[in-house]
Amino acid sequence: MIPAAFDYKRASSLDEALDLITEHGDEAKFLAGGHSLLPLMKLRLAQPSVLVDIGRLSDLSYIRDGGDHIAIGALTRHHDLEHSELLRAQNPLIAHTASQVGDPQVRHRGTIGGSIAHSDPASDLPASVLAVGGTLVARSKNGERTIAAKDFFTGFLESALEPDELLTEIRVPKIGADGWGFQKMNRRAQDWAIVGVAAYRANGQAGVALVNMGSTPVYAQAVVDALAGGASVSDAAEHAADGTEPPEDLNATPEFRVHLAKVLVRRALEACG
């Protein structure tokens, strides 16, 4: 439970952070809240030789009205998402999901950017951003690019970010105050979800994403297609596990996760109204 040796660099600006990550390449990792990276380092599943601390870059902590979307700085804490009046009014699914992350200590330190960049399929916020069709903004010394959430999560703990890129902003659409649902089952409060579901139905559109049903957060396309074809909520929920590869671990078998996914998708869609 002791990490391998590493150098520590604290960035005082975004440009300095990008300079450091460019200088050290694949051997460097960004550190924000640390709740995802540090446990992997203690288990030596991650062994960066350099940590670039970006936790004090206050200009990447914000929640703003972007016109047709809400712009969220990557270093925005879960606590701030949970209590944002703008999110509660325009995308309460994101605010509510943030309130379900860990405990108050975690929510006061953990960041939405860290959660999404870590790309853990058992994490709640990546699924909610995926469900609403969010967009991720990445920046490097070569400029800025946007990545659709559907294209961002590429494998277990892997994303479309290049080694020299930093996730700087998350953009989520305005879905209104109604028409959303979030469900998850865990054995104890604060545990990772055995299965989780984020869903919305608003303005004639729908989105559903699953937690811990594959090697990445999973967009439940079969459920969305069934709803678009006029299926009832119950019938659409029967497609929850289509195309998924649920893992087996000490908490659940794949078969149990398939059952949970169907039940929780139904409940989440019923909550959408």
Position 132 scores a pLDDT of: 98
In angstroms, the Cα distances linking 268 to 1, 47, 236, 238, 254 are 38, 39, 12, 13, 20
Position 4 scores a pLDDT of: 86
Give the predicted TM-score (pTM) of the model. 0.94
How confident is the model over 18-59, as pLDDT tens digits? Answer: 999 998 878 888 888 777 788 888 888 788 888 899 988 999
Residue 55: both structure tokens together: 């936790």
Q: Domains in the chain, please, with CATH?
A: 7-53 (3.30.43.10), 58-173 (3.30.465.10), 191-272 (3.30.390.50)
Position 165 scores a pLDDT of: 95
**Dihedral (CA of 143, 173, 216, 101) sign:** positive
Q: How far apart (Å, rounded) are the C-alpha atoms in residues 93 and 89?
A: 10
How confident is the model over 83-124, as pLDDT tens digits? Answer: 999 999 999 999 999 999 988 888 999 999 999 999 999 999
How confident is the model over 116-162, as pLDDT tens digits? Answer: 999 999 999 999 999 999 999 999 999 999 999 999 999 999 999 99
